[in-house]
Amino acid sequence: MQIDDVEKFMRTQMYKQMFKSITGDSANFQMVMDSLLKVIEIGGGTGTNSSIPNSNNGFLNSSMNSANIDISSRDIDSAVENASIKYNVDKDLINAVIQQESSFNAKSTSSSGAMGLMQLMPATARELGVTDGYDIGQNVDGGTKYLRGLLDMYGNSKELALSAYNAGSGTLNSKGVTDKSDIDRLSYETRDYVKKVMSYYGKNSLT
């Protein structure tokens, strides 16, 4: 093995360990490594003109962003699974609420100040014991706990629980909504919210 081959090998091992620490043993790790090896081959692998990526290189940045997305996705899946078991709420329903509330954006903030994946209002978050509304685990746990309480309040009716999640139980009481057939009394926004979440829930349940 010549000197340039040894240097190329050492560089490859260094980047392999770096990316593995970011992505773990996921399929994303293999994808990153395949791309890295191609870059090394194209650039010759050594010298000052080498095309091996560095921290200022778009390839490295995009790979790290991809890894972060993958890690975030795993964190959300884990949080949903844990909350589903803890509060006995269908994880497909939790995912459907997250889809409608934030499109799975953990940093989402509404114009009214609702935070995170399940869009918890600050006051509601405090009542639920959530100290960081943007923390994935806390947000999903708190949102699912709140949803569980609404399901219990409305006889496990998903439609009524979702209506209250969007409009508040006080609104349902003031409108005399006690059955899902009464949802027509609520605003278009809430009716549309329930319709969309139930649609996502149905699709999730089929997958």
Question: What pLDDT digit, counting tens, does each position of 33-49 carry?
Answer: 454 444 444 444 433 34
Token duo for residue 123? 């006051």
Return the sign of the alpha-carbon dihedral for residues 147, 152, 155, 156: positive
- For the segment 81-94, the average pLDDT, to the nearest whole number, is 98
**For residues 13 and 21, what is the distance between their CA atoms, to the nearest angstrom?**
12
Looking up tokens 């990316």 gives 19
- Of 13 and 195, the structure prediction assigns the larger pLDDT to 195
**Residues 191, 175: Cα–Cα separation, whole Å:** 13
Alpha helix ranges (H) inside the chain = 3-23, 27-43, 58-87, 91-102, 122-127, 136-153, 158-167, 169-174, 188-206
Is 81 tagged catalytic?
no
Write down the pLDDT at residue 22: 47
Task: Give the three-class secondary structure for 25.
Answer: coil
- Give pLDDT, residue 72: 84
pTM of the full structure: 0.68
Give tens-digit pLDDT for 128-176.
999 999 999 999 999 999 999 999 999 999 999 999 999 999 999 999 9
Mean pLDDT across the stretch 103-129? 96
Query: What digits encode the pLDDT tens for the residues 102-112?
Result: 999 999 999 99
Domains (range + CATH), the chain: 3-53 (no CATH), 74-206 (1.10.530.10)
Q: Output phi, psi for 155, to 5 deg.
A: 60, 35
Q: Of 41, 81, 101, 189, which one is the catalytic site residue?
A: 101
190: pLDDT strictly greater than 80:
yes
Report which of 68, 71, 70, 92 is spatially closest to residue 80, judged by C-alpha positions: 92
